[in-house]
Amino acid sequence: MSRPDTPTPIRSVAAIINPASGGGRTGRDWPTIQRELEAVLGPVTPYFTDGPARPEHLPAALLTRKALDAGAELLIAVGGDGTISETVNGIMLAGGTPSSVQLGLLNTGTGGDFRKSFDLAAERQACIARMATGTTRTVDIGRLSFETDEGKRLTRYFNNIASFGLSGAVDRAINKTSFSKIFGGGFAYQWASFKALMRYKPQPVRIRTDQGFDEVLNVSTAAIANGRFFGGGMMMAPNALVDDGLFDLIIMKDMGIRDLASGSGSLYDGSHIHNEKVIETRASWVETEPINAKPVLLDIDGEAPGRLPARFDILTNALTLRL
């Protein structure tokens, strides 16, 4: 397990900004945010995303590679969890190493799930002040090979949680319910969950791990977790650590509408893992395969890029965060 490192001097700082996050608040507030960042970090070069992500097009990832090519040593993801995830993908796809680049988190979106694994404050000025101390932490990253809706195989990286089942269906519902995100990540997730829950039925999936787990289960939702939270504050994997070299695999099996509705509160305090229909285990890789032709949808750090079959691998000590 890694511990916070000593401060490291940074010569070049870039910000990857999603101006549409937070209902457009990020774009409106950027001039103020830039002044606050530059007051403690020096000049910050901004890069603005120009549209939503798609499975084969990650705007923030492309800008991240551009910033790295220009010599950036500290990248600050300014937006929601999706912006952070895309920036991580840009770093990994560019071959960035923990010693060559650091990632700072400035969450201005509606969710803020990844920062909760580090007990980072939601308040912007507090995050900037903490970032200014220069303390770093090396963490693990997940790598995922999956299938797009068109049947193409892709590889993506995730810093927080990848999941499938109801969570993937919820992502699709969120993407079709733009007004709800104005009211916050928790509200958006609950509203989309209600819509998806009315139509979703557990789906049979074969799940294998390097630890000998090999079962076919009717899955409501399964999470391959590096971080602890998803869905706007749900503590899906309460025992997950971002630097232990293992995923926490949480499988909610055969849970119908009544089970999920009555147990939704336990997801926010992590007590759902004590439910007899929930499996908690750990693994460094996980393979998943649908048993029938009905698509089992994926969620990767809050985005919906495709479906099973998929393989998830942990990459240890793969990224340096400036916290």
Burial (CB < 10 A; 0-12, 13-18, 19+), residue 73, is middle
H-state helical runs in 107-222: 113-116, 124-132, 166-175, 185-197
Segment 147-188, tens digit of pLDDT: 999 999 999 999 999 999 988 877 776 666 555 455 555 566
Average pLDDT over every residue of 103-116: 90
Residue 8 banded pLDDT, cuts 50, 70, 90: low
Burial (CB < 10 A; 0-12, 13-18, 19+), residue 35, is exposed
Closest to 63 in 3D by CA, of 86, 82, 79, 47: 47
Q: How far apart are CA 298 and CA 109, in angstroms?
A: 21
At 3 the pLDDT is 53
Residue 190 banded pLDDT, cuts 50, 70, 90: low
The token pair that represents 310 in the structure block: 């998929």
Amino acid at 70: A
Average pLDDT over every residue of 224-244: 95
Instruction: Report whether 293 contacts 147 (CB < 8 A).
Output: no
At 201 the pLDDT is 87
The token pair that represents 170 in the structure block: 């919820």
DSSP 38-100: HHHH--EEEEE--S--BTTB-HHHHHHHHHHHTT-SEEEEEESHHHHHHHHHHHHHTT--TTT
For the chain, which residues make up each domain, given as ranges?
13-140, 142-316
Fold of 142-316: Tumour Suppressor Smad4 (2.60.200)
pLDDT tops 90 at residue 259 = no
At 142 the pLDDT is 98
pLDDT tops 60 at residue 7 = no
Contacts of 178 (CB under 8 A, 6+ apart): none
Q: What is the dihedral of CA 255, 258, 264, 269, to 10 degrees?
A: -70
- Answer whether CATH 3.40.50.10330 is correct for domain 13-140: yes
Amino acid at 20: A
pLDDT tops 60 at residue 250 = yes
Q: How far apart are CA 253 and CA 255, in angstroms?
A: 6
* DSSP reduced 3-state for 235: coil
List phi, psi (to 5°) of 51.
Answer: 170, 175
Pairing of strands 247-253, 278-283: antiparallel
Q: Indicate the pTM of the whole model.
A: 0.90
Average pLDDT over every residue of 119-133: 89
Instruction: Report the b/e string of 112-125 with b at 16+ CB within 10 A.
Output: bbbbbbbebeeebe
Instruction: Report whether 265 contacts 299 (CB < 8 A).
Output: no
For a pLDDT cut of 90, what percent of the chain falls above it? 69
Output DSSP code: residue 198.
T
Average pLDDT of the chain to the nearest whole number: 89
At 86 the pLDDT is 95
Q: Return the top range by mean pLDDT from 126-130, 149-153, 236-240, 259-263.
A: 236-240
Task: Judge if 13-140 and 142-316 fold alike in CATH terms.
Answer: no
At 101 the pLDDT is 95
What is the Cβ-side half-sphere exposure of residue 86, based on CA atoms within 13 angstroms?
31
Amino acid at 297: L
pLDDT tops 70 at residue 127 = yes
Segment 21-75, tens digit of pLDDT: 988 999 999 999 999 999 999 999 999 999 877 777 889 999 999 999 999 999 9
At 177 the pLDDT is 58
Question: pLDDT higher for 256 or 68?
Answer: 68
Residue 193 banded pLDDT, cuts 50, 70, 90: low
Residue 109 banded pLDDT, cuts 50, 70, 90: confident
Residue 144 banded pLDDT, cuts 50, 70, 90: very high
